[in-house]
Structure 1
């Protein structure tokens, strides 16, 4: 047994191996499978840094001056907005392998009419440079299906050495000296959900169930297709805190806009057509069909300049993606990360180089 496993087992209260078929383990992991890493939410290269939504009965944004944003947002009742990523790393208590043959998302509570009061974006770290194993699930579906995305990512760091490359079942194994590491992308375009993730696996020929999240302590997410006030954490202002950013209007995340909005008539193409950014001015704007490329200059980020790609939806410009212009314009990875084909942008703006 490794020192790591000895530490984990000591932490959770003993080396118990429950060999009871279909036993649901509690959050302490009373079974052969140990959850070494459980991060909700985590930063993911494909989804990006999470956004946080405050429910209607929560505090107002001005309560967050001088406070580290994520810690206090979550402590104050905020939940994940629209897209969240659960990161899991699993091992067994000994060298005998476990075979994960099914991953499920279990809803404990749903309110399809729920609306967030406001949304906040916060500064979070980078996402690393490895390709990784990923799954996805849409909470808006009545029957939530977990889709296997395989190994994804275009990063140059190679494949995560702990990422299982085989199929669910015989190719998805873990043991004490062979961790399995993967991500589950969860989406909710509308409504409020409390849920858990259930792992079904076999060990020594017996079946077990390991559950992440319980009705008492669930994972939570909320989404909406309506406009929501958006606030950004700005540490350089005095006092630092959440400031409203009118340049954002919802929805703009991929997959969440109503299909009918994608073909709406583009709005006008002049400075007054684009959302203002506090303490910044528009220095460049170019429109092409349903797309607009705009550059702002001023107190918008640490570099003082910002490039924004807008798409026409519901008769106005809605932000799709933004990036710093300190090293040119938007990058190809910026655009791909927003779910947009870079070739489409190249056709719309032949003079725009995506670095």
Structure 2
């Protein structure tokens, strides 16, 4: 599959709304407020930003200008039905950004909707449960072979064609489907549940999919966070895992205009998310061990963390796109299963470099 590079940006805003199309008695029919996050993904053409390497900053600025019109406002004054989906439509039309691939509204930490240019929506909601588990088939000295526990998080994703509708599936519908599963999983030892005798992230995601898909035909992915920095997606056929890392680094944007402060040495606390696809190991019950991903990537990580990025050999420029391409090249031999990189220089702002079949966006 050909490589695709997306610039991504996010911007928060505070606003109130009423959603009158919801059923009588629904709490969101009352005036209420949210700390929203708007998100955008675009394949920016060359020359759109003020300078090469400035695309992320330019996209973030455009999005910030747009959401400023919504900040501390009554959203019903802008839209008669201010659902997350209609807010995404409003932003899509107001942005005027070339190469726009999707616009998303995250109305709480637990829920959101991402809309593409063809009125196709990806709705998601996040849930949490506390449980113990152990992996019975790992090597004797593997830490996951001991009984331990996690605060697991699960995201249910549903894809729909809106066809002009004001909203897709109601978040409360996802919550209702999740409720009996929460009762079964919460404060339990997963190994004691039939079908979860070897409760890896991958097998837990598949177990959830098999129970939910018959009730929710629009279900497109189940995502399981085993920890805050690692997890697995499952779509009924394929498993994709991710491992998240953070590094601190300095850079100069040498192609920025004269007088631009980005030409000076400055720095970021970067978030890097590695996405990998591999067949399921039917014995161990996983695709790739999260610990192995971290260990195999460590030589690349050591060259990034607490270093000046412009000094890296073969790196043309230290902008997010150039850096993501460099990371891909450096990690390819050790991690052939790698198919996507998310690189954020500030929260929600950076690039997504994909050369596989992709997968769902994770919330901020």
Higher helix share goes to which structure? 2
TM-score higher than 0.5? no
TM-score bracket for the superposition, by shorter chain length: under 0.3
TM-score, normalised to structure 2, is 0.22
Larger Cα Rg: Structure 1 or Structure 2? 1
